[in-house]
Amino acid sequence: MDDLYREVIIEHYKNPAYRGKLDPHDISFADNNPLCGDHIQIDLRIDSGVVSDARFDGHGCAISQASADLLLESIIGKPLEEVKKLNKESVLELLGIDLGPVRLKCALLSLKVLKAGVYGLGEAGDELVE
Amino acid sequence: MNLNVAEIRKDFPILEREIRSGVVLTYLDSTATSQKPIAVIDSMNEYYRHSNANIHRGVHALAEEATAMYEGAREKIAQFINAGSARQVIYTRNTTESINLVAYSWARATLKSGDLVILTEMEHHSNLVPWHMLHAERGIELEFIPVTDNGLLDLEAYRMLLAKSPKLVSFTHMSNVLGTVNPAAEMIKLAHSAGAIVLVDGAQSVPHLKVDVQTLDADFYAFSAHKMCGPTGIGALYGRTSLLESMPPFLGGGDMIKEVKLRSFRPNSLPHKFEAGTPAIAEAVGFGAAVDYLSKIGMEKIAAHEHEITEYALERLEEIPGVKLFGPSADKKGGVAAFTLEGVHPHDVAQILDQDGIAVRAGHHCAQPLHEKFGIPATSRASFYLYNTKEEVDLLVNGIYKVKEMFK
């Protein structure tokens, strides 16, 4: 439990560095977690194939919001090709915790939204984080 | 006489379970599904160990016995809700399937494009989506009785909607989020005066209140076994005989027929007309045992106990700074307390409570439009049944203070 709500997670939930919207942006995508209604929108700016800035907006539990903040922090300055390679393990590594199947959906929502946006897909499917 | 809760808890072995080392379960999620007493578990085991056979057409001893148990349970369920006859009780998988049975059979045979169905803003998805589907397929119109800020149905608005001559009014007897017990008898009377048929979603009411379908004068009444100490996988639809007789069958197959030719069939009589294929026999036996269990204790006593717990819970929860409760006061609701905690998402509340073995539900509870109405994505929900105690409410309250501390 203390694991699940590590200080870093509570900190990113309460004081996210990358919450907001980017206008203009090159990529923007939003989706929900249908099970619990968590909602995340991610806006990206891309310069020569590299993520130059990123913001997320939405609502949800500490796990979903903190993982979005940590995820964006980790991709700024990275080429899109690298972002495409991110998977479930990358997010769990950022969070530094293990999660059961229910909370895993919360943690992975931001990565699904990010990748659906990067690939220009209509929907943030589960296959994106396998 | 009050309930002897200490004795009742002994009937539910799961309540003694350690969720993790040294942490005993505090089960506050009976609105999702109730726990099962030994009597119910044993009745199903005994059926499989001693009487298992397929029902109806067999002539051997076991087939006779299994049929008698399956039909005997139907009699008990009929008595429990005071149906005029057991023929009016159709076994289904759950409340959702009962509502779908009405939507597929009665509604598709009756409703035309432009016909009006009145629902409410506090419905569970199971009493919304079947009608959305019929709207898409048939072009029926849908109107919704609004929910007031204090979680009650706006009956003035209901009267105005009735002036539009609806064909069907379908509403929940008790909200699974707000706990609101709707004035079903009055609403049914008004609907009938307007010439409408009435379907009541009784998933939350039958487990917690004394329900009498004849006094209510309901045309259809849907409920599930698993929320009333019975097993999952079985529910029931009560219907007015004349309606059930006039309706086409629902699913086709074995058992629902009187006669089958290569190119035609004649449907069976009630209730079998609506029960195609081998049903959930052991579950029906368990359903009957659940009804016996609740009847023996007494529904009035159960309702009174839940009221006492709910009143106490609302009082204690209200004291916590940052907690916002949804739904009416304890005198107008069943044993449900849906709440939000300022600054903490309901999932986090539920997860942290779980560390102390406290099981509450978090999310939209299959009532997304209702949450939208109140401008919130989700709530945490504690719910109470005959086996819950005030001590468990205290554990919940202490747990919420712990959550606040963690998110300070």
Domains and CATH numbers, chain B: 5-30+299-406 (3.90.1150.10), 41-296 (3.40.640.10)
DSSP element (H, E) containing B221: strand B220-224
On whether any CB of chain B is under 8 Å from the CB of A21, the answer is no
Query: Strand, coil or helix: what is B223?
Result: strand
Q: What are phi and psi of A50, to 5 degrees?
A: -120, 140
Given CB atoms, is B399 within the 8 Å cutoff of chain A?
A: no
Q: Which residues make beta-bridge pairs with B390?
A: none
Quick check: B377 and A35 CB within 8 A?
no
Got the DSSP string for A42-88?
Answer: EEEEEETTEEEEEEEEEE--HHHHHHHHHHHHHHTT-BHHHHHT--H
- Report d(CA B40, CA B33) in Å as an integer: 14
Is residue B2 exposed (0-12), middle (13-18) or buried (19+ Cβ within 10 Å)? exposed
Furthest-apart CA atoms within chain A: distance in Å: 42
Note the pLDDT tens digit of each residue in A80-114.
999 999 999 999 999 988 888 878 888 999 999 99
Amino acid sitting at position B264: S
pLDDT of residue B1: 62
Question: Is B366 a catalytic site residue?
Answer: yes
Q: Alpha carbon of B59 to those of B54, B55, B62, B67, B70: distances in Å? A: 10, 9, 8, 10, 15
Q: How far apart are CA B181 and CA B327, in angstroms?
A: 10
CB contact under 8 A, B351 and A103: yes
Class of the CATH-defined domain A7-119: alpha beta
Do the chains contact at A61 and B346, CB–CB below 8 Å? Answer: yes
Please list the pLDDT of chain B residue by residue as tens digits (408 residues): 689 999 999 999 999 999 999 999 999 999 999 999 999 999 999 999 999 999 987 789 999 999 999 999 999 999 999 999 999 999 999 999 999 999 999 999 999 999 999 999 999 999 999 999 999 999 999 999 999 999 999 999 999 999 999 999 999 999 999 999 999 999 999 999 999 999 999 999 999 999 999 999 999 999 999 999 999 999 999 999 999 999 999 999 988 988 889 999 999 999 999 999 999 999 999 999 999 999 999 999 999 999 999 999 999 999 999 999 999 999 999 999 999 999 999 999 999 999 999 999 998 888 989 998 998 888 999 999 999 999 999 999 999 999 999 998
Beta bridge partners of B330: none
Query: ipTM of this complex > 0.90?
Result: no
Say whether B352 and A1 touch across the interface (CB within 8 A).
Answer: yes
The ranges assigned to domains in chain A are 7-119
Burial class (CB in 10 A: 0-12, 13-18, 19+), B85: exposed
Among A4, A38, A65, select the one facing B351 at the smallest CB separation: A4
Q: What integer pLDDT is reported at residue A126 of this predicted model? A: 79
pLDDT averaged over chain A?
A: 90
Catalytic residue among B157, B366, B376, B397: B366
Q: Specify the 3-state DSSP secondary structure of B142.
A: strand
Q: How far apart are CA A51 and CA B367, in angstroms?
A: 39
**Is B185 touching A (CB cutoff 8 A)?**
no
**Alpha helix positions (H), B247-337:** 281-297, 299-318
Query: 3-class SS at B138?
Result: helix
Q: Is the peptide bond before B369 cis (omega within 30 degrees of 0)?
A: no
Cα separation, A86 vs A128, in Å, equals 9
**Cα gap B243→B249, rounded to integer Å:** 12
